[in-house]
Structure 1
Amino acid sequence: MRAVRKCAVCNKAGTTGKPILCCARCQDRYYCGRECQKGDWETHKGSCRAKISLVWYDRYRKCKDGTRHEGKLELMTWPSPEEDLGWGGCFADESDDLKHKFEVEFGGDEARFYKHWPQGFRWTCCGTDAGMKWGCDHHGTGSKPCTCDFCRMGKALPDSIYKERCQTRHGLQLSRGPDPRSYHPQIAQVSAMGRSMMGLDL
């Protein structure tokens, strides 16, 4: 039987309308709301910081759909002739200028450069452009279920997607899925219908 999550401060259990949420940084401590979390920070911050090695891109891990990236954020420095892209994920004929801007204007500081040019980075967990704010499609390799259509349909990625050559997935060995935790009959039907209507791969 699964243990009931309770707030680390007031010991309140979650309800359907108000769930107990974990610390987004270390994911080890649970709170019923912002006030309890803020009140507990002086006590919690030591263990929280000790658990993780903070890097500049930690603040960007969470996607708008609630999923989280578990890999690293990496500046793309390799070309992609198939897409006519060069250094930093820009058009090949503009890459020298962008690289110069990174080195001179931003002094090689990746954190500052990311704010200027997020599409020049990729996440190593899913091979997606860091400018994309929706979904880490890890197909079963993450700690939480994958939210992509294929995993929800219980299908592995089709060849047309899995074997696509693109700059953001260069050199990565990504899972083809499906993530067995993601399948849901009703969501599978909606995903299949939506992809079919939009003429996308099934």
Structure 2
Amino acid sequence: MTNLLHCKTCGKNQTTPGVKLRKCSKCRGSAYCSPECQREDWPAHKKLCGDWYDKYRKCQDGAKHEGQLELITWVSEEEGVGFGASCFEDCDELKDTFETEFEGNLERFYKYRPHAFRWTCCGMPGDMDYGCDHHGTGSKPCSCDFCRMGKPLPERIYNKKPASRMGLNLPRGPDPRSFNTALAISAATGRSLFGMEM
């Protein structure tokens, strides 16, 4: 058995009599046979536990991004951008900066250029934190205007594929949990006042 679950500290595996292995409740990665083994491994494990972007998940509206924060490394002809969502002529320089100055460290690079990333749960750029426009795939209701109005994303918006949404299969909505009469009126009024698509 090649993928036998074993204790990270003492090496006991799931076939050892009397041993019940439990995975770390935070990262669900490393397994331990006892609280003592988990405590012993903690100084090393804490550097790897969880994802570096967990602290950036919370949005202004109280929602949390449930996907991953991913560096944009692909080309979007539609937007005319490539690595780090930068213009074609700046891609090579930005990639070199990421690899040399930041030594490939994603968190440091995110602090320097958050819009070079995207959230995989909603396809929003990494610097957008007003909410998670997941249109029904999240554990909490979507807070976008369209879901609040009970409308799917308009074709023009849904079919547009910016770099931050490329490769993601995102729904159009609406999230049925999101409809709210008062918020729908407010969203419709606001979008109309600012000439935004309804």
Range into which the TM-score falls when normalised by the shorter chain: 0.7 to 0.9
Partner of 2:149: 153
Identity across aligned pairs (percent)? Answer: 55
TM-score, structure 2 normalization: 0.75
Deviation, 1:200, is 0.9
Question: Aligned equivalents of 2:65 and 2:93: distance in 1?
Answer: 30
Partner of 1:13: none
Partner of 1:173: 169
Q: Secondary structure of the residue that 1:135 maps to in structure 2? A: coil
Partner of 1:108: 104
Deviation, 1:51, is 3.8
* Equivalent of 2:75 in 79, 88, 112: 79
TM-score, structure 1 normalization: 0.74
Q: How big is each residue's C-alpha offset from its partner over 1:145-168, in whole Å with a ceiling of 9 and x where there is no partner?
A: 110000000001110110002100
Partner of 1:163: 159
Q: How many residues align?
A: 156
Partner of 2:123: 127
Q: How big is each residue's C-alpha offset from its partner over 1:20-45, in whole Å with a ceiling of 9 and x where there is no partner?
A: xxxxxxxxxxxxxxxxxxxxxxxxxx
Question: Aligned equivalents of 1:143 and 1:80: distance in 2?
Answer: 30
Deviation, 1:52, is 3.8
**Is contact 1:73–1:123 with CA below 8 Å preserved after alignment?**
yes
Gaps of 5+ in 2: 1-21, 29-49
Whichever residue aligns with residue 50 of structure 1, its letter is S
CA root-mean-square deviation: 1.6
Question: Aligned equivalents of 1:122 and 1:165: distance in 2?
Answer: 13
Structure 2 residue 31 is the aligned partner of structure 1 residue 50: no
Question: Aligned equivalents of 1:82 and 1:164: distance in 2?
Answer: 8
Q: Which moved more, 1:118-127 or 1:108-117?
A: 108-117
Q: How does 1:79-98 map to 2 (within 5 A)?
A: 79-98=75-94
> Where in structure 1 do 4 or more consecutive aligned residues deviate above 4 Å?
none
Q: Secondary structure of the residue that 2:167 maps to in structure 1? A: coil
Question: Aligned equivalents of 2:88 and 2:128: distance in 1?
Answer: 21
**Is contact 1:86–1:93 with CA below 8 Å preserved after alignment?**
no
* Equivalent of 1:68 in 64, 70, 76: 64
Larger radius of gyration: 2
